[in-house]
Amino acid sequence: MKALSQRRRHPLAAVALLLIGLLFTGGVYALASSTNEAKAQTFSADEVQEGEKLFVANCATCHGMGAVGSENGPSLVGVGAASVDFQVGTGRMPMQMQGPQAQVKPPQFNDEQTMQMAAYVASLGAGPAIPGEEALDTSEADPANGGVVFRVNCAMCHNAAAAGGALTRGKYAPALSGSTAKHTYEAMVTGPQNMPVFNDANITPEDKRDVIAFLETIDEQGSPGGADLGSLGPVSEGLFIWVAGLGVIIAFTVWLTARSS
């Protein structure tokens, strides 16, 4: 058991996986342009230049000069601006330490810096672009259809109520309640870490919008029955009845059978 967990914690293991994974995603996006049109996003030369400076200072240690990758981090050529915006914008990158997967934490860079780095990485090779306003506009979206798509494609990892779930060997699918529409969309098109890629041929942009609408709806409305106990299903319900329910009942039985003073 110890050996396993040590192997899992071996710094190179996660890196190697990340490297392979991101190389694939990057490579695929460069190749399979028929399904995922690398949207021509306009970044100014200035932004690219600033981004390169930030990249060299903050990312190149692991991802290498020119983002070609190193022993400690995958190549970012062709991962696209969306990937950078997701990883840096949610605070996952830069990683604090090597682990089963990159953790969410407060973003280390402001929006402008993130955009500059995205511009730089996007300039290295075609990849998924940061979704525009119209892609995220959920005013016309159908949350019920989003729910159907979500249950088939997402619920097995992220839980039917988007409360998150466990993966193998310390990895996990995070809860989605804090995620912004843009980051959710970017996660779907880039497939960060162990999440599969859901390209536009798999889940159409309309369906992606519906999924976001569904997530927003269940997040906003809350549970009609009262506190949702973490939306973790029967486990938290069982724990609640044993601890709180029986606890209160025992308190009453003790009072009931105690002598009055």
Partner 1 sequence: MADHSHGSPESTGVVARPGQGDVQKFQNPGLPPHRPRLADRDPRAEKRAERQVAILFLVSIIGTVLFFVGYFLIPLDETIATLRLQNLTLGLGTAFAMLGIGVGIVHWAKTLMPDHEVSEDRHEIRTEADRADAEKIINDIVEETGIKRRPLIRNTLLGAMILAPLPAVFIFRDLGPLPGDALRHTYWDSGTRLARDPSGTPIRASDVTIGSAFHVIPEGLSDSEHYLEEKAKAVVLLMRLNPESLNPSPGREDWGYEGIVAYSKICTHVGCPVALYEQQTHHLLCPCHQSTFDLTQECKVIFGPAVRPLPQLPISVDDEGYLIATSDFQQPVGPSFWERG
Partner 2 sequence: MSSSTTQSTYQPKTSVGKITNYVDSRVGGSGIVKEFGRKIFPDHWTFMFGEVALYSFVILLLSGTFLTFFYDPSMAETTYDGSYIPLRGVEMSEAYATSLNISFDIRGGLFMRQVHHWSALLFVAAVSVHMLRVFFTGAFRRPRELNWVVGGVLLILAMAAGFTGYSLPDDLLSGNGLRIIDGVIKAVPVVGTYISFFLFGGEFPGTVIIPRLYVLHILLIPAVILLLIAIHLFMVVTHKHTQFPGPGRTNDNVVGFPVGPVYAAKAGGFFFIVFGIIAAISAAFTINPIWNYGPYDPSPVSAGTQPDWYIGWVDGALRLMPGWVAGIPLEWNIAMPWGVNTLSLNVLIPALVPAGIVFGLMFAWPWIESWLTKDKREHHLLDRPRNAPFRTAVGVSGVVFYCIMWAAASSDLIATHFFVSLNDVTYWLRVLFFVGPVIGFMVAQRIALALQRKDREIALHGRETGRIVRLPHGEFIEVHEPLDEYKRYNLVNYESHGVLPAEADVNGHVTRTEKARGRLSRFFFEDRVAPVTPAELEAAHSHAHHDEIAEQHDKAAISK
Q: Which residues bind partner 2 (CB under 8 A)?
A: 1, 4-5, 8, 100, 142-148, 151-152, 155-161, 163-170, 172-173, 214, 217-218, 223-229, 231-235, 237-242, 244-246, 248-250, 252-254, 256-258
| Residue tagged 């044993």 (tokens) | 242
| Contact with partner 1 (CB under 8 A) among 12, 20, 104, 235 | 20
Find residue 172's DSSP bridge partners.
166
| Contact with partner 1 (CB under 8 A) among 38, 129, 191, 209 | 191
Report the nearest approach of partner 1 to the CB of residue 14 (Å): 9
In this structure, what token pair is assigned to residue 48?
A: 């690219």
From 46-54, 57-65, 151-159, 238-246, span contacting partner 1 (CB under 8 A): 151-159
The count of other CB atoms within 10 Å of the CB of residue 127 is 27
228 vs 245: CA distance, rounded Å: 16
Q: Backbone phi, then psi, for 9, in 5-degree steps?
A: -85, -5
CB 207 within 8 A of CB 145: yes
**Would you call 165 helix, strand, or coil by DSSP?**
strand
Closest CA to 192 of 74, 36, 49, 65: 74
Interface with partner 1 includes 144 (CB under 8 A)? no
Interface with partner 1 includes 226 (CB under 8 A)? yes
Interface with partner 1 includes 2 (CB under 8 A)? no
Interface with partner 1 includes 260 (CB under 8 A)? yes
| Contact with partner 1 (CB under 8 A) among 21, 66, 107, 164 | 21
- Which of 48, 176 has the CB closer to partner 2? 176
